[in-house]
Amino acid sequence: MNLLGPRDLTIMVVPDDGGVSRSYRITYGRVRLLIVVGLVAGIMFVGMAGSWWYLAARAARVSDLEVRLEAMGHEQVRLEAVGADLAAAEEQYARLRSLLVPSLPPGDGGIWLPLSGGRASDGESGGVGVSGATIPNVWPLSEKGLITQGLLQGVEGEHPGLDIAVQTDSYIRAAGGGKVVEVGTDEVYGLFVVIDHGEGYSTVYAHTSAQMVEQGQQVREREVIALSGSSGQSTAPHLHFEIRLNGSAVDPLTMVEQPN
């Protein structure tokens, strides 16, 4: 044996059926080469498998995005249809309201429109109330409106005034002359105005969209003090109107009359 020469590896194959045995001789250098080639091939396979998985994941994400974009397109179409339905419903509501809630007749007696500085001027139809404090007996809107809820007291619940459905930004006017004692906002009443009319009487105007008077201001009967709205706990534009006597709610319909 040549101890300094290259070493060989002999592999013998002996068949179980008693056939001719065969032997194969391979050098250790070739064995190492085969091992290196196998490792390189394994690394390449793992890299290719990783690349395939990454590409497959990217393709799945692109497919998911396409599905989402298609769903968003359908949702956009649905929202446009809902918007069209809402516009049609609002138009129908306006037509119905024009039939059920006509404006006050010209002979109503006029209104006072506030000017800059808290002053007021006569409405063109003339006939305004006297200055100073007066008992509230004037309809608190420049329109007839539609009463949707009246005074309710007792076991069935509490509702201390009238709810009058009216278009947003309609004139709200003082039901009588007096002094504005509170102008504020409330979680339930929203933007509101309170007027003291003397002799224990006061009125409340709630859910307004804008207040046109200030606390401490003297107002005259029929003077515009606010604009109707839906502030506070309200589901639709309306005026919540109260008349109080010594702090207790009085049915407004016993003191003011809704125009025909």
Identify the CATH homologous superfamily for domain 106-254.
Glucose Permease (Domain IIA) (2.70.70.10)
DSSP three-state, residue 75: helix
Query: Is it the case that residue 203 has pLDDT exceeding 80?
Result: yes
User: Cα(157)–Cα(249) distance, rounded to whole angstroms?
Assistant: 14
pLDDT at 115: 42
Q: Six-digit token pair at 212?
A: 């046109």
Task: Using the Cα atoms of residue 104, residue 109, residue 110 and residue 112 in order, give the sign of their dihedral.
Answer: negative
pLDDT at 5: 52
> Between these two residues, 76 and 58, which has the higher pLDDT value?
76
Give the least confident one: 84-98, 103-117, 141-155.
103-117
233 neighbors 190 (Cβ within 8 angstroms):
yes
User: Cα(245)–Cα(21) distance, rounded to whole angstroms?
Assistant: 124
The number of residues in the chain equals 260
Query: Is it the case that residue 143 has pLDDT exceeding 70?
Result: yes
Supply the pTM of this predicted model.
Answer: 0.55
Q: pLDDT digit string (tens) for 171-194?
A: 999 999 999 999 999 999 999 999
pLDDT at 50: 77
Query: Is it the case that residue 214 has pLDDT exceeding 90?
Result: yes
- Mean pLDDT along residues 128-157: 78
pLDDT at 178: 95
pLDDT at 191: 97
Q: How confident is the model at residue 94 (pLDDT cuts 50, 70, 90)?
A: low
- Mean pLDDT along residues 13-31: 77
pLDDT at 155: 52
Give the least confident one: 2-16, 50-64, 68-82, 104-118.
104-118
Average model confidence (pLDDT) for the chain? 80
pLDDT at 256: 94
Q: How confident is the model at residue 239 (pLDDT cuts 50, 70, 90)?
A: very high
SS3 string, 119-188, reads: CEEECCCCCCCCCCCCCCCCCCECECCEEEECCECCCCCCECCEEEECCCCCEEECCCCEEEEEEEEECC
DSSP three-state, residue 207: strand
- Mean pLDDT along residues 141-152: 88
- Mean pLDDT along residues 102-110: 45
pLDDT at 20: 80
pLDDT at 27: 78
pLDDT at 176: 95
